[in-house]
C-alpha cells in the first residue's frame, strides 16, 4: 500500500490551505501530523482521502490517480474532527448504514468493531444521547470496522478519559501491526511521541519533516 | 414514520379527498374525468381557476417537501464518512435518482388508486381506450415533472442549502401558476384576434404543460376529449420537454455532486 502526494496545492476563497505538499507514505507505519489549529491538518486528510479536490498536483494511491482514476481512495477509514454520524440512529444502525455502501462486512464485524472501542453493540440509545466520549468511540469504530488499508485519524483521543485514550492507542498499534497505513493528527504530544514512527509538522498549509 | 410511508399515506389520502370533488351518486364516471381532476381540471383560465390550481398543487408540493432532501441529506450528517466510502459519486447519484423516480411513480399510482377506489365503491367507473392513453400521458408527464423538480431541489440544496432550494423551486412553481392570470386579461385565449399567438406564449409557461385539458392529440377521439381551447398543443411536446429537462437536471446533478468539496461535515449547519 502506497500513498503519494506530489506538489499538492489547495486554496479556498483566495486563502492557501495546502501549499506544495509532497508525501510518500507506506503501509504498516504510523505517521504523526502536528500543528496549530488552522494549520491545515484536517484539510490535508480531506485532500488525501479525496473528499476535496485539489487545485494542482497529484495524489496517487497504488498507481491510481485521485479524481482521475478514482473519486476517493478505496478502503479507507476516516475520523475527522467534529464530524458526527446520524444523530437519530443508534450506534449499530449508523455503522450498518455505512457498511451497506460497499457491503464488505457483516453484522458480526460491525459488533466486533463497536466492542473493540469499548461500547455495547446492543445499546438502543441514539447517537444524540451519547456522551462526547461515546460519540468519539463510535466514530473510531466506523473507521476500523472494514479493516481498511489506510486509516486517517484526526484528533482521535479528543473527549476521551484516560482509559479511553489507552484503549484507542492500543487499537492504533493493533491496526499498524495488521499492516494498515495510519495518519494521526493530534494536539496531544503524548499520542505522537508514543505512537508515531515518523512526524510531520504543519504550519499555514506547509508541511515540514520532523523526526 | 418513514418518509416512504408518509408519501404513500399522503398520496392515498389525497386521492380519496380529490374523489369527493367529482363523485356524483348514481352516475357513470369515465376514468379520464378522474385524470382531469388530478391534472389541474378541465377549465378555462379564470381567477377562481388559478386559486383552484394552487390548492390542487398541494399534494405535489408535499411530495417535494418529503423528498426534496432525500439526496441532500447525505451531505449533512455523516457526509465525510458516507462519501469516503463512495468510490464513484456519479454512479451513486444515478442510483439515487432512479430511486427517486420510483418513489414518484409510487406516489402518483397511490394518489390515482385512492381516487379510483372510492369511485369504484360509489359509482360505475368506465375504462375506455382514450382514458387509458390519457392515463399513460398523465403518468409520464407528471412523473417527469415531479422527478425533475424534486431532484432540482436536492441539487440546489447541495450547491447552496435547503432553504434556498425550496424557496427557489416552490417560488418558481407558484410564480408560474399566478402568472396564468396574464392569460385571463392581457393575453386572452378566447374572443381575441391574437389567440394563436397568445396560446404560443402560454406554452412558455411550464405549468401549462401540466394541464392535460389544454393539450391536443393526434389521436382524434382523445383530441375531442381534451383540447378545450381547440389549439395545437400536442401532449408529446410536454413529454419531450420534461424528458429533456429531466436529463439536463440529472446531468447537472452528477456534475454538482462530483465536484462538491466536503469541506464541512454538515452542509446545513456549516460545521
C-alpha cell at B32: 379520464
Q: Which residues of B touch A102 (CB under 8 A)?
A: 85, 87
Burial status of residue B79 (CB atoms within 10 A of its CB: 0-12, 13-18, 19 or more)? buried
Going by pLDDT thresholds of 50, 70 and 90, the confidence category of residue A83 is confident
pLDDT tens-digit series, residues A95-125: 999 999 999 999 999 999 999 999 999 999 9
A100 touches chain B (CB under 8 A): no
Is the CB of residue A78 less than 8 Å away from at least one CB of chain B? yes
What is the extent of the structural domain holding B195? 3-259
- Candidates 3.30.1330.60, 3.40.50.300, 3.90.1300.10, 3.40.800.20; correct CATH number of A2-209? 3.40.50.300
Grid cell in block for residue B174? 407558484
B271 and chain A in contact, CB less than 8 A: yes
pLDDT at B25: 59
Determine contact: B87 vs chain A, CB below 8 A: yes
Task: Give a yes or no: residue B101 inside a domain.
Answer: yes
Half-sphere exposure at residue B233, Cβ-oriented, CA atoms within 13 angstroms = 27
A176: which residues sit within 8 A by CB, 6+ positions away? A28, A29, A30, A182
Q: Which residue of B has its CA nearest to A80?
A: B80
In chain A, how long is the greatest CA-to-CA distance?
A: 47
Q: State the CB neighbour count (10 A cutoff) for residue B5.
A: 9
- Please tell me the distance from the alpha carbon of residue B107 to that of residue B56, in angstroms, as a whole number: 15
The answer, yes or no, to whether residue B27 has pLDDT greater than 80, is no
> How many domains does the structure of chain B reveal?
1
Q: Indicate if the pLDDT at residue B217 is higher than 90.
A: yes
C-alpha cell at B251: 446531468
B78 in reach of chain A (CB within 8 A): yes
- What's residue B266's pLDDT? 67
Q: How many A-B residue pairs are in contact by the CB < 8 A criterion?
A: 68
Evaluate whether B67 touches B97 at the Cβ level (below 8 Å): no
pLDDT, tens digit, for every residue of A58-70?
Answer: 999 989 999 888 8
Inter-residue contact B84 to A51 (CB < 8 Å): yes
Indicate yes or no: CB of A83 within 8 angstroms of CB of B88.
Answer: no
Q: Where are the alpha helices (DSSP H) in B39-78?
A: 47-56, 58-67
Q: Nearest C-alpha of chain A: how many angstroms from B93?
A: 13
Whether residue B21 has pLDDT greater than 70 = yes
Q: Give the confidence band of B133 by pLDDT, cuts at 50, 70, 90.
A: very high
Residue A140 has pLDDT above 90, yes or no: yes
User: Within a domain: residue B7?
Assistant: yes
Question: How much is the pLDDT for B240?
Answer: 97
Domain assignment of residue B95, yes or no:
yes
Beta-bridge mates of residue A2 = A26
Is the model's pLDDT at A211 over the cut of 80? no
Does some domain include residue B90? yes
ipTM score of complex: 0.92
User: CB of A3 within 8 A of CB of A73?
Assistant: yes
Instruction: Provide the strand spans (E) within A70-205.
Output: 76-79, 150-154, 181-185, 198-203
CB pair distance less than 8 Å for A80 and B258? no
Mean per-residue pLDDT for A180-196? 92
Averaged over B185-190, what is the pLDDT? Answer: 85
Task: Name A73's Cβ contacts closer than 8 Å, sequence gap at least 6.
Answer: A3, A48, A49, A50, A61, A66, A150
Residue A36 pLDDT: 87
Q: What percent of chain A has pLDDT over 70?
A: 100
Task: Check CB contact under 8 Å for B84 and A72.
Answer: yes
- Asked whether residue B235 is domain-assigned, the answer is yes
Q: Given pLDDT bands bounded at 50, 70 and 90, which one contains residue B232?
A: confident
For residue B47, pLDDT over 80 is answered with: yes
Domain boundaries, chain A: 2-209
Sign of the alpha-carbon dihedral angle for A194, A195, A198, A203: negative
Helix (H) or strand (E) holding B84: none
Contacts of B271 in chain A (CB under 8 A): 82
Residue A13 has which C-alpha cell? 476563497
Does B263 contact A53 at a Cβ distance shorter than 8 Å? no
Amino acid at each position: 500500500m502506497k500513498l503519494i502526494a506530489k506538489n499538492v496545492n489547495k486554496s479556498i476563497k483566495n486563502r492557501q490551505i495546502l501549499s506544495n505538499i509532497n508525501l510518500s507514505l507506506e503501509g504498516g507505519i504510523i505517521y504523526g501530523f502536528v500543528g496549530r489549529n488552522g494549520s491545515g491538518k484536517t484539510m490535508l486528510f480531506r485532500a488525501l482521502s479525496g473528499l476535496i479536490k485539489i487545485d494542482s498536483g497529484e495524489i496517487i494511491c497504488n498507481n491510481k490517480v485521485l479524481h482521475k482514476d478514482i473519486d476517493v481512495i478505496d478502503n479507507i477509514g476516516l475520523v475527522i474532527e467534529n464530524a458526527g454520524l446520524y444523530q437519530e440512529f443508534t450506534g449499530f444502525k449508523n455503522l450498518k448504514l455505512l457498511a451497506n455502501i460497499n457491503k464488505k462486512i457483516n453484522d458480526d464485524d460491525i459488533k466486533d468493531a463497536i466492542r473493540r472501542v469499548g461500547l455495547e453493540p446492543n445499546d438502543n440509545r441514539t447517537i444524540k444521547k451519547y456522551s462526547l466520549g461515546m460519540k468519539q468511540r463510535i466514530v473510531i469504530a466506523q473507521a476500523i470496522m472494514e479493516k481498511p488499508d489506510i486509516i486517517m485519524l484526526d484528533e482521535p483521543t479528543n473527549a476521551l478519559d484516560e482509559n479511553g485514550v489507552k484503549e484507542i492507542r492500543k487499537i492504533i498499534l493493533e491496526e499498524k501491526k495488521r499492516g494498515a497505513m495510519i495518519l494521526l493528527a493530534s494536539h496531544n504530544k503524548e499520542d505522537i511521541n508514543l505512537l508515531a514512527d515518523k512526524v510531520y509538522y504543519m504550519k499555514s498549509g506547509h508541511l515540514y519533516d520532523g523526526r | 414514520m418513514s418518509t416512504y410511508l408518509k408519501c404513500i399515506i399522503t398520496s392515498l389520502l389525497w386521492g380519496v379527498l380529490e374523489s369527493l370533488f367529482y363523485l356524483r351518486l348514481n352516475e357513470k364516471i369515465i376514468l379520464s374525468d378522474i385524470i382531469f381532476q388530478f391534472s389541474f381540471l378541465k377549465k378555462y383560465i379564470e381567477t377562481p381557476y388559478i386559486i383552484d390550481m394552487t390548492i390542487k398543487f398541494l399534494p405535489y408540493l408535499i411530495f417535494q417537501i418529503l423528498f426534496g432532501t432525500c439526496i441532500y441529506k447525505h451531505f449533512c450528517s455523516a457526509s465525510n464518512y458516507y462519501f469516503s466510502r463512495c468510490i464513484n459519486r456519479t454512479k451513486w447519484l444515478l442510483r439515487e435518482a432512479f430511486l427517486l423516480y420510483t418513489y414518484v411513480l409510487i406516489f402518483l399510482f397511490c394518489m390515482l388508486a385512492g381516487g379510483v377506489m372510492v369511485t369504484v365503491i360509489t359509482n360505475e367507473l368506465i375504462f375506455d381506450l382514450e382514458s387509458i392513453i390519457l392515463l399513460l400521458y398523465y403518468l409520464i408527464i407528471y412523473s417527469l415533472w415531479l422527478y425533475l423538480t424534486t431532484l432540482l431541489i436536492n441539487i440546489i440544496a447541495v450547491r447552496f442549502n435547503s432553504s434556498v432550494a425550496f424557496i427557489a423551486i416552490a417560488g418558481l412553481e407558484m410564480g408560474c401558476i399566478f402568472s396564468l392570470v396574464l392569460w385571463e386579461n392581457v393575453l386572452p385565449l378566447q374572443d381575441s384576434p391574437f389567440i394563436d399567438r397568445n396560446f404560443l406564449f402560454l406554452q412558455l409557461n411550464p405549468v401549462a404543460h401540466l394541464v392535460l385539458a389544454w393539450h391536443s392529440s393526434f389521436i382524434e377521439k382523445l383530441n375531442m376529449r381534451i383540447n378545450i381551447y381547440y389549439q395545437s398543443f400536442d401532449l408529446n411536446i410536454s413529454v419531450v420537454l420534461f424528458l429533456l429537462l429531466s436529463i439536463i437536471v440529472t446531468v447537472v446533478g452528477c456534475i454538482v455532486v462530483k465536484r462538491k468539496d466536503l469541506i464541512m461535515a454538515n452542509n446545513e449547519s456549516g460545521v
